[in-house]
Structure 1
Amino acid sequence: MTTERVFTPIVPAAGTPRREPVSVLICAYTMRRWDDVLAAVESVRPQLGGYDEVVLVVDHNLELRAGLEARYDSTPWLRVLSNTGKQGLSGARNTGVAAARHDIVIFLDDDATAEPGLVTTMVAALADQRVAAVGGTPVPAWPAVHRPWWFPPEFDWVVGCAYVGLPTERAEVRNVIGAAMAFRRGVLERVGPFSTDVGRVGTLPLGCEETELCIRVRQQLPGAAIHHLPDARVRHRVTPDRTTWRYFLRRCYSEGVSKAMVSRLVGAGDGLSSERRYVSRILPRAVGRSLLGVARGRFAAAGPGAAVLCGLVATGAGYLRGSLTR
């Protein structure tokens, strides 16, 4: 029989301004990301104080849970829990939200590290009661010094990062990016949890669970705002297997399937509102930039343009498949 450790407040650094406490939620599912999970916790630790806490939710992996419990046995401000819902990221997030002690819940991917100021920036933005959720800016941490020569920045969403087309200043958006985001728990209690009908399960590259939730927030809470915060940055690790053409096309196809599922849940009007602008304005500029580079003799510029076109076709094929599947 085990007993829950007594929570001990974190002593903040001298001169740290007081703010509303937060629960930082990190969901993990595989031992292969052991070092990543530890790095995620360590990145956010210096930003915590007072009654802040970290909640690690393990998605149906007894070995990982046992390892994390042993690693953080003497860490009173951190709890390790098992996903009590349906296997997958949505179920794990819902478990963490239900267990969180505070109204502000910050979600950090298990392979992302928070840069300084992430917590305070998100809490400050949520001080406006009209703001229901905020999203940070995940920056890709490529396995080499530079991004793959053919990988267009307009498709950085493929690796879970901010992409060309997002606002460069704080602005209202339809949805946030899941690698670094924050919601008020009270909002989630009103509109319902993350849908387990969409989203990632293990390495299956589906997604859009945060998109569906954000759309639902805006539909059910008229006047609620969702903001993108360029200054709330995290480094999102990109593994070598995610820099291949195979993964790129697979992820694009899966994104199309996910978009179709979201559209069925919330309606195509809201489900594709941002995508229409992205396809009609952002992607043509990317192709034009590639063609201009080729015309100037930089033949390597053809790679990103080709990737844009192939990614668009793959995403469209996935959307068609998802639309026909019931």
Structure 2
Amino acid sequence: MDQHDTAPHGAAVSIVIPTHAEQRWPQLVRTVASARSQQHTPAEIVVVVDHNPAMFRRVRRDLPGVTVLENRYEKGVSGNRNTGAFHTTTELIAFLDDDVVAGPQWLGALVAPFADPGVVGAGGAIDPAWEDARPAWMPDEFLWAVGGSYAGMPTTVAPIRNVWSASMVVRRETFLAVGGFRTGFGKLGAQNRPEDTELCLRMSDAGGGRWMYVPDAVIRHEVPRSHSTFGFFLRRCYAEGRGKVQMAGLKSSTDNLSAERSYLRSLPRAVGRNLSDAVRGQGWRHALRAGSVVAGVTAAGLGGAVETVAARRATRMPAVPEVAR
């Protein structure tokens, strides 16, 4: 009997890994290897290539034993994930990004909460794997800016509003019922819209179920040197502010920014705590982190304001009349 047949509640699970660039080949190889090494054996590993024929041929040639598909939708990670997910037939579908390494217990830990039929999805902890040392100015509360779990998240298995698609398992029935990830809304180029949060909201509303956060289901997410700069941090916060306003405009849920408001209320305490630690002589890095919290909030607020103005202008623009033929 396969190991996945003896896992909690007996559900089989497939793993979908989106990829797009040949420059990420070494990372993809590591991600696939970690997927193969899961103690809870996946029924299938699906790698989906985003409109890159050369990369598609290389994956198909050099990664035997995995299913390799090409994105059937417009360019972007949402359609890439949907292509793989809609191909699978298992009761549960797992997602991993192509620049992460999952611990051997990752999949089993994320599958366990689905013994409760009220659970529609689960996600795990993300540990940043810095190419260089972690910047001294990086606040714990803003580790999400580099794709990591941040201060204030649950430390034991607990309900949560949303998880991240870099480490996610969904109940297939509910995922299909809402149409999967919203194509055309997600990460592409300079855009950084929260397609995973938006999916979580729709699945919760449609299924009447809940998401679970499993901190013991750990992946390591590579943080390249280019993402360790203060400039990248500000750009990422600015993009997040724009993306959250765009998500709110989709009306995916009746209160889809509640978690953001709660998070913002926690940040003054982070500033005060870091300043207090700096004054007590616990290191100048705490003063830098206090300043970074203020800078990050300001950048996100600016992004949100810019997107709000842009949305209002778009709704006021008159329709362009058709040219008479």
- TM exceeds 0.5? yes
Question: 1:259 touches 1:271 (CA, 8 Å); kept in 2?
Answer: no
Could you tell me which amino acid in structure 2 is paired with residue 169 of structure 1? T
Task: Find the aligned partners of 1:267 and 1:20 in 2 and give their Cα distance.
Answer: 29
Q: How far 1:296 sits from its partner (Å)?
A: 1.7
User: Does the 8 A contact of 2:202 with 2:252 survive in 1?
Assistant: no
**What SS is found at the alignment partner of 1:124?**
helix
Report whether the alignment pairs 1:251 with 2:236: yes
Kindly indicate whether the alpha-carbon contact (under 8 Å) linking 1:134 and 1:176 is maintained by their aligned counterparts in 2.
Answer: yes
Aligned match for 1:87, one of 75, 94, 105: 75
Alignment of 1:14-93 (within 5 A): 19-47=10-38, 52-73=43-64, 75=65, 78-93=66-81
Deviation of residue 205 (structure 1)?
4.8
Cα offsets for 1:17-61 (capped at 9, x unmatched): 584221100000111110100000101212266671100000111
* Unmatched 5+ stretches in structure 1: 1-9
Aligned equivalent of 2:226: 241
State the partner residue of 2:145.
Answer: 158
Correspondence 1:288 to 2:272: yes
Q: Does structure 2 conserve the Cα–Cα contact (< 8 Å) formed by 1:140 and 1:159?
A: yes
Of 216, 241, 244, the residue aligned with 1:231 is 216
2:92 matched to 1:104? yes
Equivalences for residues 63-212 of structure 1 within 5 A: 63-73=54-64, 75=65, 78-144=66-132, 146-201=133-188, 203-212=189-198
- Give unpaired runs (5+ residues) of structure 2: 312-325
RMSD, matched Cα: 2.0
Aligned residues: 309
In structure 2, what residue type is equivalent to 1:83? Answer: N
Instruction: Name the aligned partner's letter for residue 129 of structure 2.
Output: A
Report the AA paired with residue 169 of structure 2: A
8 Å contact 1:138–1:234 — kept in the other structure? Answer: yes
Alpha carbons 1:88, 1:200 under 8 Å: kept:
yes
Aligned ranges for residues 285-324 of structure 1 at < 5 Å? Answer: 285-297=269-281, 298-324=283-309
SS of the equivalent of 1:256 reads helix
Conserved 8 A contact 1:24-1:105: yes
Letter in 1 for 2:88: A
Note the alpha carbon deviations across 1:175-224, whole angstroms, 9 max, x for none: 112210110111111122211242101x43503101111111222232x0
Cα–Cα, structure 1 residues 11 and 217, in superposed 2: closer, same or farther, change >3 Å? Answer: closer
What is residue 320 of structure 2 aligned with on the other side? none
Instruction: Tell me if structure 1 keeps the 8 A contact 2:181–2:196.
Output: yes
Normalised to the residue count of structure 2, the TM-score between the two structures is 0.90
Cα drift, residue 286 of structure 1: 1.4
TM-score normalised to the size of structure 1?
A: 0.90
Residue in structure 1 matched with residue 321 of structure 2 by the alignment? none
Whole-angstrom CA distance in 1 between matches of 2:271 and 2:253: 26
> Which range is displaced more, 34-43 or 264-273?
264-273
Closer/same/farther in 2, CA of residues 49 and 316 from structure 1, 3 Å limit = closer
AA paired with 2:114? L
Q: Distance in 2 between matches of 1:131 and 1:160?
A: 24
User: 1:252: how far off?
Assistant: 0.5
Kindly state the Cα deviation for residue 270 of structure 1 after the two structures are TM-superposed. Answer: 1.9
Matched residues, percent identical? 37
CA distance in 2, matches of 1:17, 1:58: 30
Counterpart CA distance in 1 for 2:121 and 2:286 is 37
Q: Structure 1: how far apart are the matches of 2:7 and 2:255?
A: 39
Give the deviation of 1:121 after TM superposition. 1.0
Could you tell me whether the CA contact under 8 Å between 2:100 and 2:221 is conserved in 1?
Answer: yes
Paired with 1:268 and 1:27, the residues of 2 have a C-alpha distance of 26
Cα gap change, 1:303 to 1:51, in 2 (>3 Å): closer
CA-CA distance at 1:293 after TM superposition: 2.1
Contact 1:161 1:179 in 2 (8 A): no
- Shift, 1:251, TM fit: 0.6
- Local SS of the residue matching 1:85: coil
Q: Aligned-pair distance for 1:11?
A: 6.0
Q: Counterpart of 2:142 in structure 1: which amino acid?
A: F
Letter of the 1:28 partner, please give it: T
Task: Look up the SS of the partner of 2:154 in the other structure.
Answer: coil
